[in-house]
Structure 1
Amino acid sequence: MSDVKTTVNNLLSSSQGSEDELHYSDLTLAALVEHYGWQYCDTQHPQNRVERLFVGTSADGMMVPNDARYLGANYSADPDSRRYIALYYGRDLLKDWDGREGTPAEIAAQVNKRAEQYVQMKWTTVKAA
């Protein structure tokens, strides 16, 4: 977890507290970045959102080149308590989790797993069409 805390500390301003005071939501987003290849959308405000590009394999001429998909994870529906992390494809809510129902690493793993399942399902649908 120290790599995650280092990532967060490098991005958060010193006014938000020490490493020991980091909110579990910050640690969850940092775990997605550190362990699963997600990226902060705004390095000035890393606590707001992360995203990951999933590159696909659709045929040329499709609306989405190579069936690439950006999925995002954030706390925008719960900005005050930052309790619920949500996974989005565009504006579509795919799933949300209560961040208190596991460690930040466990919640990050669940978010990433669901994102990968969603993308795999979409790729399978495109290939079948």
Structure 2
Amino acid sequence: MKSTIYIKCPECRENGLLIERQGKYFCANCMYDYTQLNDDRSKLDEVLIENLQVKGFGPLFAIALYERVTLTPPLEARDYVFKLAEDNNNIEIMEPTSKLDLLKNPILLIFIVVFVIVIIGLALLSVYG
């Protein structure tokens, strides 16, 4: 499985791909070994906080990093990183919108209903038309 996780590296300060080699995780730019952060939790928290502040996928990548470095289950990693964000000036984390949340949008729901009615109407016309 290829990584698509980009982390701001504490060593080279670049935003680099997190790669896995023989059970360890490294910065693709400078080969910094992220697994050593498991022994220095304050440094790990610093790296997580810095990545939480990156717009876009930063929070998701921070959760993924914590999960891999500490070998923590995904839900526990998520809870830890969200608590870390809350404890550090309430760093805002935008949670992904679920598909059910989209259906709560009345305009989108009306559009979907109209679209389905038009498709059914076109199908009936082609069969009986």
TM-score by length of 2: 0.22
Whose helix proportion is higher, 1 or 2? Answer: 2
Structure number, greater radius of gyration: 2
Q: Which has the higher strand share?
A: 1
